[in-house]
């Protein structure tokens, strides 16, 4: 009973200091939208690299993978300037648009599609009159659900836990994501650790729910198609 009273007291203190549920909604919205668009564009890019032969494909693929070597810190200032000029500063778009299609996601999808989707299946669909996007949407997407689950879980977790970019891109307390909002409660002179811990416990629930729902696809996506080039 003491624990329950203590938690409710800390929870009340949390709500008094920050717009907690608004901040949680911001995190949920950015994570869901960012994950959804990343799944679509990474799958589309992986499909193109795995199933089509075109001039410069290998060079383009290597150049894309080369971007993995660029430290994320290097991109903070250019991204900030770009978002500012686009008028997206202090909006959710400044956080999920730059990550629409990341190199590791495209690489993962390319490897999985190359191992899970036989070219003969695509040829059969073309004979039946299915267009290229129809093949991708109706045939490829259902076959790569484990890879989508794995990438979706990693993308959601990364978006949910992101701190540096939201700290740079957002300046209103009402637009903060949860990590930034909880950090804003930690002053120089004093910190209400009970309220911070209460917010931290609640903030872990969405990630735990998503992982429980997608754990099987996450494991299947990581263990299949990892070695085929």
- The answer to whether residue 53 is domain-embedded is yes
pLDDT at 223: 63
Q: Is the pLDDT of residue 100 over 90?
A: no
Q: 1-23 pLDDT, tens per residue? A: 445 567 788 888 889 999 999 99
Q: Is the pLDDT of residue 187 over 80?
A: no
Q: 126-176 pLDDT, tens per residue? A: 998 999 999 999 999 999 988 898 899 889 999 999 999 999 999 999 999
Q: How far apart are CA 203 and CA 205, in angstroms?
A: 6
The number of distinct structural domains making up the chain is: 1
- The answer to whether residue 211 is domain-embedded is yes
| Mean pLDDT calculated for residue range 20-39 | 94
- The answer to whether residue 11 is domain-embedded is no
Q: How far apart are CA 172 and CA 192, in angstroms?
A: 21
- The answer to whether residue 229 is domain-embedded is no
**Domain residue limits at 191:** 18-223
Say which CATH number the domain at 107 has: 1.10.3720.10
Q: Is the pLDDT of residue 226 over 80?
A: no
- The answer to whether residue 2 is domain-embedded is no
CA-only gyration radius of the chain, Å: 21
pLDDT at 70: 87
Q: 57-95 pLDDT, tens per residue? A: 999 999 999 998 888 889 999 999 999 999 999 999 999
| Mean pLDDT calculated for residue range 30-40 | 95
- The answer to whether residue 1 is domain-embedded is no
- The answer to whether residue 5 is domain-embedded is no
- The closest of 125, 110, 128 to 51, measured between CA atoms, is 110
- The answer to whether residue 10 is domain-embedded is no
Please state, rounded to an integer, the average pLDDT across all residues of the chain.
Answer: 88
């Amino acid at each position: 009973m003491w624990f329950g009273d203590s938690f409710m007291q800390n929870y009340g203190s949390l709500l008094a200091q920050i717009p907690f549920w608004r901040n949680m909604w911001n995190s949920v919205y950015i994570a869901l939208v960012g994950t959804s668009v990343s799944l679509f564009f990474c799958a589309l890019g992986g499909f193109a690299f795995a199933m089509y032969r075109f001039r410069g494909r290998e060079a383009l693929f290597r150049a894309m993978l080369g971007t993995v070597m660029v430290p994320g810190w290097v991109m903070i200032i250019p991204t900030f300037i770009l978002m500012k000029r686009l008028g997206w500063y202090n909006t959710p778009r400044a956080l999920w648009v730059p990550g629409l299609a990341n190199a590791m996601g495209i690489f993962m999808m390319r490897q999985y599609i190359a191992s899970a989707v036989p070219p003969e299946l695509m040829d059969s669909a073309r004979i039946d009159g299915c267009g290229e996007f129809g093949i991708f949407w109706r045939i490829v997407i259902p076959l790569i659900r484990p890879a989508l689950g794995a990438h979706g879980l990693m993308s959601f977790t990364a978006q949910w836990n992101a701190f540096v970019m939201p700290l740079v891109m957002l300046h209103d307390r009402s637009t903060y994501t949860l990590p930034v909002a909880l950090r804003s409660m930690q002053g120089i002179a004093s910190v209400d650790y009970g309220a911070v811990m209460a917010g931290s416990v609640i903030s872990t629930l969405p990630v735990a729910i998503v992982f429980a729902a997608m754990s099987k696809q996450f494991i299947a996506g990581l263990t299949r198609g990892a070695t085929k080039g």
